[in-house]
C-alpha cells in the first residue's frame, strides 16, 4: 500500500488551523463547543479510516470500502481517505469482474451475473462489467434484461459502438429488423470504420428487402 504520510499532513493543515483557537485557549465558549464537536467528528472519521485500512490489508476490500465511505461522510475533504477508498474499490471491482469472466467462460451465467453486479457496486460506470453483464443476461435466456443492460450501457458510454452492434443482433434475432438497422446505423455514425456493423447492416438490408417482397407475395 502506498505511503500516504505526506498527503495526510497536507489534508490536516486546514484542520489544524480550525482547532488552533481551542488549543491556544483564545476561542469563545461557543466557538470552543463547535471545535470540540469538530474534533470528535474528526476522530470518529479517523477511526473508520484506520479500520478500513486493516480490512484492506486483510483482503476484505468490500468491507474496507464501506468503512472508507463512513469516514468520508464525516470528513469529506480527506483526500487521503478518498485515495485509499478508490484503491480498495478498484482492486475489488477487478476481482469481481475476473470472477464473472470465469463463470461466463464456464457457462455459469447466473453466477457471472452476480459477480458483475458486485463489480458495478464498486464502479457503476465500469464499461467492461456493464457489457459482460448484458451478455450474461442474454446467454442466460433473459433477453429483456439484456436489452435493458445494453441500453443502460449506451447511456453511460454512448461512444461504445459494440453495444449498438449487440443490441442490433438481439433485435435481428427477434425479427425486429427496423430497430436492428437503426442501432447499426448509430454505430456507423460514431465509427464509420466499424466493419462488423457495416457488414451486418448490408445483410440486414437484404433481409428487410426479402421480407418486403414476401409480404407482397413475390
pLDDT of residue 119: 97
Contact 120, 87 (CB under 8 A): no
The string of DSSP letters for 32-49 reads HHHHHHHHHHHHHHHHHH
CA angle 126, 127, 132 (to 5 degrees): 105
- Taking alpha carbons only, the member of 57, 23, 63 closest to residue 39 is 23
C-alpha cell at 2: 502506498
Where do runs of H (alpha helix) occur along the chain?
Answer: 5-24, 29-57, 61-74, 79-105, 109-122, 127-139, 143-156, 161-173, 177-190, 195-215
Domains and CATH numbers, the chain: 5-157 (1.25.40.10)
Contact 167, 183 (CB under 8 A): yes
pLDDT bin (cut points 50, 70, 90) of residue 4 is low
pLDDT of residue 13: 58
pLDDT bin (cut points 50, 70, 90) of residue 23 is low
pLDDT one-digit tens code per residue, 32-83: 677 777 788 888 999 999 999 999 999 999 999 999 999 999 999 899 999 9
Alpha carbon distance 65, 60 (integer Å): 9
Q: Give percent of the chain above pLDDT 70.
A: 82
C-alpha cell at 149: 443492460
pLDDT one-digit tens code per residue, 186-209: 999 999 999 999 999 998 888 877
Contact 182, 190 (CB under 8 A): no
**Average pLDDT, stretch 95-121?**
97
The dihedral region occupied by 141, where left means phi > 0, alpha psi between -120 and 50, and beta the remainder, is left
The string of DSSP letters for 129-151 reads HHHHHHHHHHHTT-HHHHHHHHH
Contact 129, 123 (CB under 8 A): yes
pTM over cut 0.85:
no
State yes or no: pLDDT of 12 exceeds 60.
no
Amino acid at each position: 500500500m502506498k505511503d500516504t504520510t505526506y498527503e495526510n499532513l497536507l489534508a490536516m493543515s486546514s484542520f489544524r488551523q480550525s482547532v488552533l483557537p481551542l488549543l491556544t485557549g483564545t476561542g469563545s465558549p461557543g466557538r470552543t463547543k463547535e471545535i470540540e464537536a469538530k474534533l470528535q467528528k474528526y476522530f470518529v472519521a479517523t477511526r473508520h479510516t484506520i479500520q478500513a485500512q486493516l480490512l484492506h490489508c486483510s483482503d476484505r476490500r468490500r468491507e474496507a470500502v464501506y468503512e472508507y465511505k463512513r469516514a468520508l461522510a464525516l470528513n469529506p475533504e480527506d483526500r487521503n481517505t478518498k485515495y485509499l477508498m478508490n484503491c480498495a474499490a478498484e482492486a475489488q471491482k477487478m476481482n469481481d469482474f475476473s470472477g464473472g469472466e470465469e463463470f461466463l467462460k464456464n457457462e455459469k451465467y447466473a453466477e457471472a451475473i452476480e459477480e458483475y453486479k458486485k463489480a458495478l457496486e464498486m464502479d457503476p460506470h465500469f464499461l467492461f462489467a456493464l457489457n459482460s453483464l448484458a451478455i450474461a443476461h442474454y446467454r442466460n435466456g433473459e433477453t429483456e434484461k439484456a436489452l435493458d443492460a445494453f441500453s443502460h450501457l449506451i447511456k453511460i458510454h454512448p461512444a461504445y459502438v459494440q453495444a449498438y452492434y449487440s443490441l442490433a443482433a438481439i433485435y435481428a434475432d427477434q425479427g425486429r429488423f427496423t430497430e436492428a438497422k437503426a442501432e447499426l446505423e448509430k454505430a456507423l455514425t460514431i465509427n464509420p470504420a466499424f466493419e462488423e456493423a457495416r457488414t451486418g447492416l448490408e445483410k440486414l438490408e437484404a433481409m428487410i428487402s426479402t421480407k418486403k417482397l414476401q409480404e407482397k407475395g413475390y
